[in-house]
Amino acid sequence: MAEAFNDKILPTDKATRYAAVAEEIAAVLEGEPNLTARMATVTSMLAASFDHFFWTGFYVVDPDKREELVVGPYQGTLGCLRIAFGRGVCGTAARTRQTQIVQDVEAFPDHIACDSRAKSEIVVPVVDAQGRLIAVFDVDAESPAAFDQVDADWLEGILQDTFAD
């Protein structure tokens, strides 16, 4: 099991695993409107599905601040509490509303190193049913180039189904 879902996971196996967890998340959250419960469940179930997800969680748009993210539900080592829009990978995803795949965090200008063990990451913007940005979803791995377009497609789909539909 440990070997099967590490960062060397085959693209087809990865897609199969995402498809299974997407279904499980939808089933668990059916009828649950609370946003924190939804974010915590997505975080827990995705982190449990892939061994190489070293840090998994949400940075939520702070409604009381101008263009600032504050840490939300996550699994992993201590995360930074606040990130301004435009800063680091999360702030770039929030500002551009585009998924960011970073193969080597040390080569990303202005990357925020919450834990020096993180070597690559993916950050996906999260929008609600009205198209408003409510958060970004961040996954970090300890190996370089752990994420690709397969991760982007599945994570975007799961986040859309969970928060915008």
CB-count exposure of residue 12 (10 Å: 0-12, 13-18, 19+):
exposed
Among 29, 112, 133, 152, binds ligand SME (CB under 6 A): 112
Among 7, 68, 140, 151, binds ligand SME (CB under 6 A): 140
For the chain, give the number of residues: 165
**Binding status of residue 101 toward ligand SME by CB under 6 A:** no
Applying CB under 6 A, the site for ligand SME has a residue count of: 14
Binding mask 68-97 for ligand SME (x = CB under 6 A): -----------xx--x----xxx-------
Dist. CA 106–CA 83, nearest whole Å: 18
Angle at CA 105, nearest 5°, toward 109 and 153? Answer: 105
Q: Which residues bind ligand SME (CB under 6 A)?
A: 55, 79-80, 83, 88-90, 111-112, 114, 118, 121, 138, 140
